[in-house]
Chain A
Amino acid sequence: MGIVRQAARVAWKDLRIELRSGEIVFTMAFFAALLAVIHSFVFPVDPKLVRAAVPGMLWVSIAFAGTIGLGRAFDREREHDTMRALLLAPVPRVAVFLGKTLAITGLVLAVTAVCVPVLAFLLDAPLFSEFWLLVLVLVLGAIGIAIVGTVFAASLLKVRSRDVLLPVVMYPLLVPLFVAGTSATAALIAEKANLDRAWYWIVFLGLYDAAFLVLSLWIFESLVIE
């Protein structure tokens, strides 16, 4: 219980700072919306093509905007070396990891809340046809991005070229997540939604998140201690 409470405390601190400054969420959301707009320009609005291309557009927008947010969220911990203060606190260090992951999940979900309606509107994409299942896919995807991203962003905190390195080391591990996310989304927005196929990928996403959560909890402390 202590771990959950302390993780919530760390997450709430991050979200409180973000609510006050709006710096990360506005930048991410604006960038995500911009990507969606660019996608809408470069692809013709053809219903058949849209159904095939929109899942990829959605997940690319989430991935790129999410990376910006991840980098900035950890830059904040670097500015006054506050990550050290968190690691020095007498709480299990996994609580710090879980708290940061929780806050970043919130930020990535905020981006999806912008991307989905913008893409649906600009490309007339049927993203709301299986709305709650799509929400489940996006939540699982956001959790996965946050788990993997938090581990790498925290471990690269002291590295000079971290902004360049973060996507380079993170994206290869996120490939299965993006494959599952786009496949599940494609199955949900198909002319006749393929729910069996969607559930297959949803389960895959759940297993991916669980596997990386266990791995991250195991290695986080050894990665962040100098």
Chain B
Amino acid sequence: MPAAGAIDRVRIDKVGKRYGSERALAGVSLELAAGSMCALLGHNGAGKTTLVGIVSTLVRQSSGKVAYEAAGKSVAAEAVRREIGLLAHASLCYGELTAVENLAFFAGLYGVDAGRAAIGKLLDRVGLEPRARDRAARTYSRGMLQRLALARALLAKPSLVLLDEPFTGLDRGGALALGEQLGELRAAGAIVVVVTHDLEAIAGRVDHVAVLRRGQLVHEARGAYDYEQLKDLYHRHAN
């Protein structure tokens, strides 16, 4: 059962983005619904990260509109940010602070429980080993940073989870565990958007696939996909 104020629909309507003379996105329309997991596929430079940036409110679109709805009503920008959990290329965490301090700081900004027990539980969930939690994050390996970044993204129990290459740096076990967590988030009613090239990790979990090529949405389909189907989709439309 989604929490009150949870975003249950995102309508991306003819969104375009230009960086100077460079076109990053052109007229992309997509609808994301609660309890679904959308895989955004495409080669490097296809516009996936830009689209995630726009949906996360951190990048302003040059044209088009993104509308967020909760129980049929549109949601204001500040309230939208409360509902977004973003896992980006960078960890978005401070290297000089420990995992616990990072999460306590962001919990304060989000107005959620910043107690050590709550943070410990979250770090257990993402699999960050207890002895690393009181060490400065700059000493972490890539995989550990990714786990901390995921904990930060999930800290406020977001209803719109945007994950840009979430499997980077994770070992096989970590990637499988993350895949399971994404499934749980989806089952709990969140909207999950995954940008990835790791088709194996999302196979059997996504129910919505959107393929971007040179800033344009070239294919969109809904349904369950296994690895072979995803690979076929990717090769047919992304190239």
Contact = CB atoms under 8 A, between A and B. Distances in A.
Contacts of B111: 90
Nearest to B109: A89
Nearest to B111: A90
A interface majority secondary structure: helix
B178 interface: no
B113 to A, nearest CB: 15
A92 B53 contact: no
Contacts of A90: 78-79, 81-82, 109-111, 156
B31 interface: no
A82 B58 contact: no
Given A85-B106, A89-B109, A13 B82 contact: no
A-side interface size class: 20 to 34
Interface in B13-69: 53, 56-60
Nearest to B84: A88
Interface stretch (B86-94, B195-203, B229-237): B86-94
A199 B217 CA distance: 63
B238 interface: no
B105 A81 contact: no
B58 A84 contact: yes
Contacts of B88: 81, 84
Contacts of B58: 84, 87-88, 225-226
Q: Which 10 A-B pairs have the closest CB atoms?
A: A81-B90, A90-B82, A85-B92, A89-B109, A90-B81, A17-B96, A226-B59, A80-B91, A80-B90, A9-B108
Interface in B213-238: none
B93 to A, nearest CB: 6
Contact of B93 (A9, A21, A82, A92): A82
A89 B81 CA distance: 6
Contacts of B156: 90
B106 A226 contact: no
B177 interface: no
Interface in B118-141: 137
B89 to A, nearest CB: 7
A17 B94 contact: yes
B17 to A, nearest CB: 9
B208 interface: no
A92 B56 CA distance: 15
Nearest to B137: A80
B200 to A, nearest CB: 27
Interface string A69-98: 000000010011110111111111000000
A81 B106 contact: no
Given A9-B105, A84-B58, A88-B92, 20 more contacts: A6-B109, A9-B109, A16-B97, A16-B101, A17-B94, A17-B97, A21-B96, A76-B96, A80-B93, A80-B94, A80-B95, A80-B137, A81-B90, A85-B92, A85-B93, A85-B106, A86-B109, A87-B58, A88-B84, A226-B59
Contacts of A16: 97, 101
Contacts of A92: 78
B152 A85 contact: yes
A94 to B, nearest CB: 11
B133 to A, nearest CB: 17
26 contacts: A6-B108, A9-B105, A13-B94, A13-B97, A16-B97, A17-B94, A17-B97, A76-B94, A80-B92, A80-B95, A81-B88, A81-B90, A81-B92, A82-B92, A84-B58, A85-B106, A88-B56, A88-B58, A89-B106, A90-B78, A90-B110, A90-B156, A225-B58, A225-B60, A226-B58, A226-B60
